[in-house]
């Protein structure tokens, strides 16, 4: 199909021409998803660590709950955030609907459970290793959580990448709470949806190629950082 | 150790950072996918911005959803195309007043091969009857949009129960105009579109207009200021300024000047 061949040319053309609209859209995608990721890590890592160090009653149920929240449909999250942030909703007075902040909130709700559930899994293995030491040294719960997060940081990078991937690729939530407003809340995925509905499939595909290239670069960058850090740590 | 304050601090920072850009005057318009997909806003809003300095933010959804969002006070201005629903919106106290803005018409598009044999017809209801008789595929928006409402009125006039045929020859896509055109081209179905979206649609394949010119296919767009008495957050002055500009001789001229491939997409008819 000519769309495929044309799309690659179009994608490179767009990047090479330094199209300001494209850079604005890519920039907003990054800003929204990276902020959501940062907040999700701040929320998810401690929850993951807490679920590892604290063996409370009903812990199994909480873990199952957090795990199943990983599969929450973005469009449902979008709807919930819309209902909360709408002028008619309980948080309407904040005036946040159709703003990048609303998109950050939605994506944070979407990926914080992913970060929490996956980091619990990563830290669980580490805890098994450290458990005896923690006990013999009488380490407090807080210090144990911190030690797990610091020593488990390489695994947690992968966790963060999984969260980032989910955030940057999702369209269902951001199109509802952001509204796909040009120069304000239009990101890569909503722009792709718009170009598709205009029937401009070449442009849609070109934007898709750019989005995938960014995702690949972020992942390569993270694994390169990790490789360097690991080499230094074991040198 | 991450403390609660640092989490909230970071959350607050990000909110402050994004809130800072709201300094310049702007209004929020709830509108339809047909006006956005045709490129109308890409054409007219930069002109408005350069003349007034006001940014117009458009959320383009189906007319049904646009009205619902405006009822939730998530808009300053409503620009849609479903007269009955618009009047109900104003009568319910949600809108200040409704003015006609512009019109175009709906067209029935289908494959060039024309399996239903309706090509060249001037009677939309008869064409729908033929499609139902022959059970040729038909793609409906199915999303309570203005176009969807207009389509359902035609089926009603033809006396056809689309509910019963849904999933069979009648396919409700539940999505916007462009997405429904894509679906139609993909599965070889007839569909009804506003003319502006059809003209600007980039993935026509071997599709063409089969039926047009029937007076029942008239498509009127209206514009309404959301009522500040119901919604105190409404920017009354800025919203009214936008409406006055669009309905002024100058704004109406600009609407008429909007062309694609030499074809006029909307015809201004504000009765001021």
Domain layout of chain A by residue ranges: 2-234
A199 and B204 within 8 Å at the Cβ level: the answer is yes
CB within 8 Å: A198 and B2? no
For A168, the token pair is 């940057």
Distance CA B194, CA B146 (A): 10
pLDDT, residue B102, reads 97
The angle that helices A141-151 and A20-53 make with each other, rounded to 10 degrees, is 130
The confidence score (pLDDT) of residue A2 equals: 57
Interface probe with B: pick from A107, A199, A200, A202, most Cβ of B within 10 Å: A199
**pLDDT of res. A3:** 66
Please say which residue of B202, B217, B232 terminates a domain. Answer: B217
**Residues A208 and A192: beta-carbon distance below 8 Å:** yes
Asked whether residue B92 falls in the same domain as residue B171, the answer is no
Q: Which two tokens stand for residue B272?
A: 């001021």
Contact across the interface for A198 and B15, Cβ inside 8 Å: no
Q: Which of A87, A142, A198 sits opposite B202 (nearest CB)?
A: A198
Give per-residue pLDDT as tens, B103-113: 999 999 999 99
Give B227's DSSP letter: P
- How close A231 comes to chain B (CA, Å)? 26
Average pLDDT, chain A: 91
- What span, in angstroms and rounded, lies between the C-alpha atoms of B4 and A150? 18
Distance from CA of A5 to the nearest CA of B (A): 16
- pTM for this structure? 0.86
Kind of pairing between the strands at B267-268 and B95-111: antiparallel
Where among B176, B202, B217 does a domain terminate? B217
User: What pLDDT does residue B19 have?
Assistant: 46
Q: Which helix (H) or strand (E) holds B222?
A: strand B218-226
Indicate if B86 and B35 belong to the same structural domain. yes
Q: What is the DSSP letter of A141?
A: H
CA dist B177 and B37 (Å) reads: 8
Whether the CB-CB separation of B189 and B139 falls below 8 Å is answered with yes
- What tens digit of pLDDT does each residue of A12-26 get? 888 888 888 888 999
Residue B48 resides in a domain? yes
Asked whether residue B12 is domain-assigned, the answer is no
Strands B26-32 and B55-61: parallel
**Shortest Cα distance, chain B CAs vs residue A43, angstroms:** 7
Locate the chain A residue with the closest alpha carbon to B42. Answer: A182
Residues B76 and B91 in one domain: yes
The residue of chain A nearest to residue B65, with distances taken between CA atoms, is A176
Distance, in Å, from the CA atom of A199 to the CA atom of B177, rounded to the nearest integer, reads 10
Whether B191 contacts B42, CB under 8 Å = no
Residue B169 shares a structural domain with residue B200: yes
A51 contacts: CB under 8 Å, gap ≥ 6: A59, A62, A63, A66, A116, A120
Tell me the per-residue pLDDT of A98-145, one tens digit each, with 9 for 90 and over: 999 999 999 999 999 999 999 999 999 999 999 999 999 999 999 999
Question: Quick check: is B232 in a domain?
Answer: yes
State percent of chain A over pLDDT 90. 72
C-alpha closest to that of A37 among A116, A98, A91? A116
Quick one: B98 and B133 in the same domain?
no
**B50 at A interface, C-beta within 8 A:** no
Q: How far apart are CA B27 and CA B55, in angstroms?
A: 7
Do B174 and B208 fall within a single domain? Answer: yes
Put simply, the answer to whether B73 touches A180 (Cβ < 8 Å) is: no
Same domain, B166 and B190: yes
CB contact under 8 Å between A201 and B202, yes or no, is: yes
Write the DSSP assignment of A151-196 as a string of letters: HTHHHHHHHHHHHHHHHHH--HHHHHHHTT-TTTT--HHHHHHHHH
The packing angle between helices B177-187 and A188-197, to 10°, is 60
The domain that holds B257 is classified in CATH as: 3.40.190.10
Q: Are residues B187 and B234 in the same domain?
A: no
Residue B119 pLDDT = 96
Same domain, B184 and B53: no
What domain range is B185 assigned to? 105-217
Q: Does B59 touch chain A (CB under 8 A)?
A: yes
> Both B145 and B209 in a single domain?
yes
- B17 assigned to some structural domain: no
Residue B20 in domain: no
With vertex at residue A145, the alpha carbon angle to CA A44 and CA A68, rounded to the nearest 5 degrees, is: 35
Same domain, B62 and B120: no
Hey, is the C-beta of B43 within 8 angstroms of any chain A C-beta? no
**Contact between A100 and B18 using a beta-carbon 8 Å cutoff:** yes
Q: d(Cα B125, Cα B128) in Å, to the nearest integer?
A: 5
pLDDT of residue B97: 94
The predicted pLDDT at position B21 comes to 47
Query: What average pLDDT does the segment A74-103 reach?
Result: 94
User: Homologous superfamily of A2-234 in CATH?
Assistant: MetI-like (1.10.3720.10)
In a domain, B8, yes or no: no
- Below-50 pLDDT ranges, chain B: 1-4, 7-8, 11-12, 15-16, 18-21
A201 touches chain B (CB under 8 A): yes
Same structural domain, B143 and B61: no
- Number of domains forming the structure of chain B: 2
């Amino acid at each position: 199909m000519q769309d495929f061949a044309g799309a690659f040319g179009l994608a490179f053309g767009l990047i090479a021409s330094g199209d300001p609209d494209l850079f604005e859209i890519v920039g907003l995608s990054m800003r929204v998803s990276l902020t959501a990721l940062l907040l999700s890590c701040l929320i998810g890592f401690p929850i993951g660590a807490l679920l590892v160090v604290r063996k409370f009653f009903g812990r199994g149920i909480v873990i199952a709950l957090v795990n199943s929240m990983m599969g929450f449909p973005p469009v449902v999250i979008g709807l919930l955030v819309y209902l909360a942030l709408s002028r008619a909703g309980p948080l309407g007075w904040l005036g946040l609907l159709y703003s990048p902040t609303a998109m950050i909130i939605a994506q944070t709700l979407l990926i914080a459970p992913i970060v929490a559930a996956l980091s619990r899994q990563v830290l669980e293995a580490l805890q098994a290793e450290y458990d005896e030491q923690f006990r013999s040294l009488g380490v407090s719960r807080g210090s144990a959580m911190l030690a797990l997060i610091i020593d488990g940081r390489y695994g947690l990078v992968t966790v963060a990448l999984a969260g980032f991937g989910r955030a940057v690729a999702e369209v269902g939530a951001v199109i509802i709470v952001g509204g796909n407003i040009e120069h304000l809340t239009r990101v890569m995925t909503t722009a792709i949806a718009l170009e598709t509905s205009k029937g401009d499939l070449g442009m849609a595909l070109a934007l898709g190629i750019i989005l995938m290239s960014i995702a690949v670069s972020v992942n390569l960058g993270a694994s390169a950082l990790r490789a360097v850090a690991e080499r230094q740590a074991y040198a | 150790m991450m403390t609660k304050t640092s989490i909230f601090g970071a959350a607050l920072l990000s909110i402050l950072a994004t809130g800072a850009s709201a300094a310049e005057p702007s209004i929020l318009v709830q509108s339809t996918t047909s006006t956005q997909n045709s490129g109308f806003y890409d054409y007219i809003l930069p002109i408005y911005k350069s003349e007034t300095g006001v940014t117009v933010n458009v959320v383009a959804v189906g007319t049904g959803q646009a009205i619902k969002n405006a009822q939730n006070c998530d808009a300053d201005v409503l620009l849609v195309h479903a007269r009955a629903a618009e009047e109900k919106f104003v009568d319910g106290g949600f809108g200040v007043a409704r003015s006609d803005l512009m019109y175009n018409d709906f067209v029935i598009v289908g494959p060039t091969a024309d399996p239903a044999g309706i090509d060249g017809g001037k009677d939309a209801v008869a064409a729908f009857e033929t499609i139902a008789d022959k059970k040729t595929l038909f793609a409906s928006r199915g999303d309570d949009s203005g176009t969807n409402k207009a389509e359902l009125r035609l089926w009603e006039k033809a006396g056809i129960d689309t509910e019963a045929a849904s999933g069979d020859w009648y396919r409700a896509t539940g999505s916007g105009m462009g997405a429904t055109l894509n679906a139609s081209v993909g599965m070889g179905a007839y569909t009804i579109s506003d003319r502006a979206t059809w003209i600007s649609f980039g993935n026509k394949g071997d599709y063409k207009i089969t039926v047009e010119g029937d007076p029942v296919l008239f498509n009127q767009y209206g514009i309404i200021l959301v009522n500040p008495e119901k919604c105190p957050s409404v920017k009354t002055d800025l919203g009214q300024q936008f409406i006055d500009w669009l309905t002024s001789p100058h704004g109406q001229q600009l609407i008429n000047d909007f062309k694609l491939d030499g074809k006029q997409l909307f015809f201004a008819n504000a009765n001021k």
